Amino acid sequence: MPFIKTKDGVDIFYKDWGSGQPIVFSHGWPLSADDWDTQMLFFLNQGYRVVALDRRGHGRSSQTADGHDMDHYADDLAALTAHLDLKDAIHIGHSTGGGEVAHYLARHGEARAAKAVMISSVPPLMVRTDANPGGLPKEVFDGLQAQVAGNRSQFYRDFAAGPFYGYNRPGAKTSQAVVDNWWRQGMMGGAKAHYDGIVAFSQTDFTDDLKKITIPVLVMHGDDDQIVPYADSAPLSAELLKKGTLKTYRGFPHGMPTTEAPTINVDLLAFIKS
């Protein structure tokens, strides 16, 4: 399997399929590159080169005890783009991955990037502070950490079968296969990475990162997102970006790249070609 080794000795797994303009995918917590299977196959068939990595501590990458923060996430992504010598790349991030993309572009520059997309993403800031009164209380994220530490397997099943895909909404039809695949990906990763990752995605303030980005960015978000609430994320991010475009999806859940893939893929393709 293909890996790169980071400066601090972590093995990062990645997929690299096809040729043409590269599209690089950054996944959400606590998943892996496999969460992008539908998008990678779609864009591969459209003639693009598709690349996705397992974040450190996630999926098939090293289950290191350290470095589970946005600086390391961005540096690992930069190491991969440099290793593959990617140019004119489209960066697409979901949830935590959207924060990773924003921090990568701000921290490492845009020389290798053409456009970016943030789907159901955590920026500008998830946790409630005096400066971010619309955020979620820190106790919400403390509770997530307690569940990861207590019974991670059960927590992941409940999380996927409930709010992540909106399966807890009246009339929703649960796909057990989708729930099982979410659980599978989560349990492949390391508990320490997932525990620390909750702090990384909830407490990192991406405001300055968003202000630095000059390439076009599409911000896609469902207004029924129960994980990253819409009002305190997507509209605020789009306003902070110099070339941000907000696209809101009525009734779509947090995991919309999976449950609403036909819609999301077509809209992504239109933005990339625009």
Q: Which residues are catalytic?
A: 95, 225, 254
Length of the chain: 274
Torsion of CA 11, 14, 20, 25, to 10 degrees: -110
Structure-token pair, residue 191 = 């508990």
Could you tell me whether strands 11-17 and 3-5 are parallel, antiparallel, or unpaired per DSSP bridges?
Answer: antiparallel
CA–CA dist 2, 61 (Å, integer): 10
Strand arrangement of the beta sheet that strand 3-5 belongs to: 3-5, 11-17, 49-53, 22-26, 89-94, 113-119, 217-222, 244-249
CA–CA dist 63, 129 (Å, integer): 31
What is the biggest distance separating any 2 CA atoms in the chain, rounded to whole angstroms?
Answer: 49
